Structures are given as C-alpha cells and as structure tokens.
Amino acid sequence: MKAARRLRLATTLVSVSLAGCLEVEQHAPFVNGAYAGQIDNQPQQVAFKGDRGAWEAAIAARVQVQDEFRRAKR
C-alpha cells in the first residue's frame, strides 16, 4: 500500500515539475526592440494591387449583401 502511494506521489511530482519545463516560447522574436518576424501584406496590397479604395468598396458591397434589414425588405 505504501509503495503504491509513493509511486503515485513520485509520478505526480515528476509530471508537475516537467509541465513547466516543456513550455514553448510563444512570443514573437524581438531584436533591438523591433519585431524581427515576417511582415504580412495588407489585404488591399495582395488582392487589389495596392488600391485601397477598391478594397474598401468591395468590403462595403459585401457588407450590404450580409445586411439582414436589407435582405428582409426584398
């Protein structure tokens, strides 16, 4: 009985102590105070070749189609 209890206690202590050791760094890398990762393109740069006005018009048109009040009046 005591052996099983000691084994359970040892297993618990080992698992608890390893839980903090296996933590993976999840923050973005910073070098000299600046973000050192890949810079993502803005949506209007990729799909609309830098034309922000066309991108905003496409977003507005999409929102109008998704508007429940406008759809209910049909």
Q: What is the tens place of the pLDDT at every residue in 10-56?
A: 888 888 777 766 677 777 777 777 777 777 777 767 788 878 888 88
Confidence of residue 74 (pLDDT cuts 50, 70, 90): low
Q: Please report which residue ranges of 1-74 form alpha helices under DSSP H.
A: 2-21, 43-46, 52-66, 68-72
Residue 67 inside a domain? The answer is yes
The domain total for the chain is 1
pTM of the model: 0.39
Residue 71 inside a domain? The answer is yes
Give the structural domain span for 58: 43-74
Residue 11 inside a domain? The answer is no
Residue 25 inside a domain? The answer is no
Rounded to an integer, what distance in angstroms lies between the CA atom of residue 73 and that of residue 64? Answer: 13
Residue 22 inside a domain? The answer is no
Residue 15 inside a domain? The answer is no
